[in-house]
Each structure stands twice: as C-alpha cells, then as structure tokens.
Amino acid sequence: MNKSLRYRSHRISHYSALTLALLGIGLPLVGCQSGGDNSTSTTGNGTGLKLATLVPVTGDLSSIGQNMPVAVKLAVDTINACGGVNDNPVTLVQADSQTDPSVGSTAMTQLTEVDKVAGVVGAFASSVSSSAIDVAVRNKVMMISPGSTSPVFTDRAKNGEFNGYWARTAPPDTYQAQALAALANKQGFKNVSTVVINNDYGVGFEKQFVEAFEKLKGNVKTKASPVRYDAKAATLDTEAKAAFSGKPDAVAAVLYAETGSVLLKSAFEQGLSEGVTVLLTDGVYSEDFIRQVGKTKDGKSIIAGALGTVPGASGQALEEFTALWKEKTGKEITAFVPHSWDAAVLMMLAAEKADANTGEAIKDNILAVANAPGTEVSDPCKAMELIRQGEDINYQGASSDVDIDENGDVVGSYDVWEVAEDGTLKVIDKISPAN
C-alpha cells in the first residue's frame, strides 16, 4: 500500500478512534507494565515502532533528568493520538541511567538486545552516552541525546565510529564553552580559574573554555594545573581550595549537581568564595542544586549572584509545546525538556518516512526530516500528515530548528541565568558563542 492510500486509511482509523472516545467507550492505546530491572514499558500492541528513554531519573543529574521521560511520553502520546507510526501505536520503554556509565551500558544492552527497541532518547550525562553508544551502534539502534554535550562525540562521529546512529538536539560544549567564555569577558573578568568533574563532559568543556577565554585575552589561572574532581571522592575540600585560592575574579565550575554542591559548600566553609563569582553550566541548572549547596546564616543562598549558561530553547514550536506541557503536567518547562520532545518526534517522523520501524530506517531518514529541503512544519501531527501524503518535510522543533549535521550536531543559542539571594533561578540574558 502506498503512502497516499495508507494516509487515507490512517485518517479513517483515527476518526473512528475519536468517535469511540467521544461516545465514552474509550480506546486505550497504552498501559503500564514492568519492563525489566531498570525499566518500565508503556506499551502499544507490540507490532509497531518501539522507542526508549535512557535518562537519569535518579543519581547525580536526576534533578534535571526526571522531566525528560515525561516529555518523551508526551511526544509518543501526541503521535499515537493522530494515528501512530506506520499504522500502529508507538511503544515506549523507560530506563533509568542513574547517572552511572556502567548502569547506562547495561540498560542499553537490555533495551537493544532484549526489549528490541529501534531508537533511544538519551543518555543525558556524556559519560553515560559514551558507554552506551557503542552498544547502540553494534545493535543498529538510533540514539538521540537531549543533553550529552561533550565535544568528544563530534570527534568520534568524524572518525566514522557511529555509522550515523548518533545525534543530539542540544549543541556540543564546543559552543557552550565559548558562550561561557564570552559571558566571563562581558562581565569584565580577567583572571578566571576552572574546576570540573573528571569525565568527558567536564574535561571537554574545560579544554574549550580555556581556549576561548584566552582568545578573548583572558587569563586562566589553573591552566597549568587543571582542577578536576572525582565524582566518587569522599570529600572535595582540596579541589575547592585549589580552584578558589588566589582570589580569581571568577571560577568556571563544570559540575554535576550532587557532587558539585559539596564542592561549592566546601569553598564557602573554607572562606574562599567571598568576592568570587561562580560561573556555572547546564549540568546544575536546577533550584534543587541551589538548595543542596545551602544557605548562609542570614538565609541567603551561598552562591547568590552566580551566573550560568544553558542551551536555550528558541524553536518555532516552543510556544505551542509550552502550552501543551503546562496543560498536561501543570508544570513550568525545565531545562532540556524541549530537547527531549524534539528527539522523540524526530525519530517517529523518520520511521514514518522510511515506512519501517527499525533503527536502521530511522538512521537513514533522520537528516531528511530534520533539514531542508522540505516544507517547514513544527506541529508533529501535521508533519506526520505531510509525510503520509508523500511530501518532504523540514521539522522545526521546540528546542531549535534542529538542523542536524552529518556529525549529529546542532547549533543552538544560550540563556544566561542567575542565582538570586533566595535561591531561585532567573534567565537574565542570552549570549552567543565567542568567535
């Protein structure tokens, strides 16, 4: 059956479903059941496209990661409500990476070899994605991360290690590090120290930041002796002292939430952070993190006045997605939620275009639905409709235009956020990567 005929069949089935729902009969497309030691499954009828999430519901990045599977499920529910993919509802399996590379690798093995998913939205931590991507590639499963930003993935993609099975909807830290350097320069900082988590994310960011800040005529005090902390260290007093000593204008701190809060609290308790601005990144963009760092005796946040960058969401679909998110969850959108939505939508559009529910089919069509040429469309159901009619599309996402290049990268904008005295976060500006 060709796409045009199948499209008319889809419309008839969809209208029938809507009619039954209006009559109060109900036509449940999904339910919940156990999906293994570390996953839950939201199932369709077992014959359609099967996707998964692999994100940190627990662990060091859980304060940011908990909303990611909610966004993906919302995308799946949206597509299922307008006909599903290739004549069937989409199945979603949810796995918790626990912000742990070994757990992430084991979970990806379960998802690819046991659950037999075609695509995975995840991981979030770059260290987890690094451990999981080889499993995905080996099993020909498409992996789109909403937030693994290490430049390492660009290098590996250029080397041909991923065979096209990797992409991300958040821009690499090649750009965010440049944006943070531009922010430091804009603030008039001349002498900056760095402290980073010792993994792909932290070290990759550090390297790019140092290079960008020096191009702006800034001095990185810790360049000769980089301060990198072990996420499993019992204490971080030594690292805090090394980063904050010598009264730098600012400390660029590339952290994860649980461990990073310990480091910054230590700097405060040692009397090292007074008069030093903390520059933060996307990994700690959460009020939970600010609470973990703690307050002074007079009730103010220890890191009040800290500034940070985070990949912004500025896509054509953002306004409509924001309204849908608030309607369905009653919450404000948090960091990387639009990026998670876009990752899921892109995989479903690619499978529909391929007329096949495999990882290889998604891989072969992901660039076609994400980029020009084609009709620009931001509504997922409208995009599905156009594909079923045989038209080419250029999906415009909620996070960005999601123009994915041959290395799986996108270029995004960055929001500048600030920590208020009461511990709340506020976006105060936008910043572009430094040249």
pLDDT digits (tens, 9 = 90+) for 176-187: 999 999 999 999
pLDDT score for 157: 98
pLDDT score for 40: 61
Mean pLDDT score of the chain: 90
pLDDT digits (tens, 9 = 90+) for 25-44: 232 333 333 333 455 655 44
Residue boundaries of the structural domains of the chain: 3-171+314-395, 174-312+413-431
Using the Cα atoms of residue 344, residue 348, residue 353 and residue 355 in order, give the sign of their dihedral.
positive
Distance of CA 178 to CAs 27, 32, 312, 422, Å?
Answer: 50, 43, 15, 29
Q: Which CATH architecture has domain 174-312+413-431?
A: 3-Layer(aba) Sandwich (3.40)
Using the Cα atoms of residue 290, residue 152, residue 149 and residue 35 in order, give the sign of their dihedral.
negative
Q: Which two tokens stand for residue 209?
A: 């930041």
Please give the average per-residue pLDDT across 210-238, as a whole number.
96
Q: Rounded to an integer, what is the distance from CA 180 to the centroid of its chain?
A: 18
Q: Using CA atoms, how far apart are residues 3 and 214, in angstroms rounded to an integer?
A: 55
pLDDT at 3 over 60: no
pLDDT digits (tens, 9 = 90+) for 117-163: 999 999 999 999 999 999 999 999 999 999 999 989 999 999 999 99
Relative to beta strand 31-34, strand 91-96 is: unpaired
pLDDT score for 11: 42
pLDDT digits (tens, 9 = 90+) for 139-149: 999 999 999 99
Query: Which residues make beta-bridge pairs with 183?
Result: none
Please give the average per-residue pLDDT across 343-354, as a whole number.
98
pLDDT score for 15: 35
pLDDT score for 34: 30
Q: What percent of the chain has pLDDT over 90?
A: 82
The CB density around residue 82, as the number of other CB atoms within 10 Å, is 18
Higher pLDDT, 144 or 47: 144
Distance of CA 428 to CAs 102, 351, 381, Å?
Answer: 37, 39, 34
Query: Cα-atom radius of gyration of the chain, to the nearest Å?
Result: 22
Q: Which two tokens stand for residue 186?
A: 């804009």
pLDDT score for 10: 45
Residue 82 · residue 349 · CB < 8 Å: no
Q: Which two tokens stand for residue 409?
A: 């990268």
pLDDT score for 39: 58
Q: Using CA atoms, how far apart are residues 251 and 237, in angstroms rounded to an integer?
A: 15
Relative to beta strand 250-254, strand 191-197 is: parallel
The residue with tokens 């599977």 is 69
Q: Which two tokens stand for residue 192?
A: 């900056």
Q: Angle at CA 336, nearest 5°, toward 141 and 322? A: 115
pLDDT digits (tens, 9 = 90+) for 292-345: 999 999 999 999 999 999 998 888 999 999 999 999 999 999 999 999 999 999
- DSSP one-letter string for 45-113: -SSS-EEEEEE-SSSTTHHHHTTHHHHHHHHHHHHHHTT-BTTBPPEEEEEE-TT-HHHHHHHHHIIII
pLDDT score for 174: 86
pLDDT score for 200: 87
Distance of CA 172 to CAs 42, 133, 140, 155, 268, Å?
Answer: 31, 16, 23, 11, 31
Q: Using CA atoms, how far apart are residues 100 and 38, in angstroms rounded to an integer?
A: 13
pLDDT at 19 over 60: no
119 contact partners, CB below 8 Å, separation of at least 6:
49, 51, 52, 141, 142, 143, 144, 347, 351, 359, 362
Q: Rounded to the nearest 5°, which phi and psi values hold at 223?
A: -55, -45
Amino acid identity of 137?
Answer: V
Q: What percent of the chain has pLDDT over 70?
A: 89
pLDDT digits (tens, 9 = 90+) for 68-113: 999 999 999 999 999 999 999 999 999 999 999 999 999 999 999 9
Q: Does domain 3-171+314-395 have CATH number 3.40.50.2300?
A: yes
Distance of CA 121 to CAs 146, 209, 323, 341, 384, Å?
Answer: 7, 28, 22, 9, 19
pLDDT score for 43: 45
Q: Using CA atoms, how far apart are residues 95 and 345, in angstroms rounded to an integer?
A: 18
pLDDT at 360 over 50: yes
pLDDT score for 368: 98
pLDDT at 22 over 80: no
Q: What is the pTM of this model?
A: 0.80
